[in-house]
Structure 1
């Protein structure tokens, strides 16, 4: 079982992620926005982070950049979940070092396959 942090300011998306991750046997930590995620990531030590891009205050870009620049958190895989599907957005995510960029609406089965594959790769 892995610890997965789901970060999204939309409670419906957070709930969907939580249900699907728990059905896959993962422990789920939710964060309501980017600042909440940054405040909790060191204590919670997630194995992977599902991160919305467009959030108030601290957005997903800022969260990813902060985590990737910190030696304690830089190796946590990040998957962006975003309604922003422009090639420039995907490229920006790649440049920040995230493992994947998934556009909303997403297929929960495909997302869980991706999560499980990334967690398996990390523990291998």
Structure 2
């Protein structure tokens, strides 16, 4: 499989480190990280990653706000996004189904299966 470039946007350093470690060590992908929605948008525009994993709940600009900004920009609207969320309430899940996202991964996730989850959601199996 060719090397993928993934942008991880999460305000929690531990989550960024775990996701980055899994994707780099297991999948051997290049991982870019951002600590906020604003930083993530700038990196997405500049670096054009193959996919984005983004936390929903972040201070300042939420993941959903950042998602809308990414999708409004012609340079970033084609980049698939997976939302990372600890929120699994049914009403929030309904909101997620209305968004133009690749999928949702619920925290806490299993680091040993994260690469498989990301690969499946992005459709990178082939």
Using the size of structure 2 for normalisation, the TM-score is 0.89
Local SS of the residue matching 2:98: helix
Q: Distance in 2 between matches of 1:94 and 1:109?
A: 26
- Structure with greater helix share of residues: 1
Q: Distance in 1 between matches of 2:20 and 2:71?
A: 24
Q: Distance in 2 between matches of 1:20 and 1:82?
A: 18
Determine if the alignment matches structure 1 residue 65 to structure 2 residue 68: yes
**Residue number in structure 1 paired with 2:10:** 8
Q: Distance in 1 between matches of 2:95 and 2:113?
A: 22
Query: Which residue of 103, 114, 121 maps to 1:100?
Result: 103
Aligned residues: 122
Gaps (5+ residues) in structure 1?
none
Query: Which residue of 47, 51, 55 maps to 1:48?
Result: 51
Query: Which residue of 79, 83, 86 maps to 1:80?
Result: 83
Deviation at 1:103, TM superposition (A): 1.1
Q: Distance in 2 between matches of 1:44 and 1:98?
A: 19
Q: Distance in 2 between matches of 1:51 and 1:89?
A: 16
Q: Distance in 1 between matches of 2:53 and 2:110?
A: 14
Local SS of the residue matching 2:124: helix
Indicate conservation of the 8 Å contact 2:22/2:114, yes or no. no
| Inter-CA distance 119–3: structure 2 relative to 1 (3 Å threshold) | farther
Q: Distance in 1 between matches of 2:57 and 2:8?
A: 14
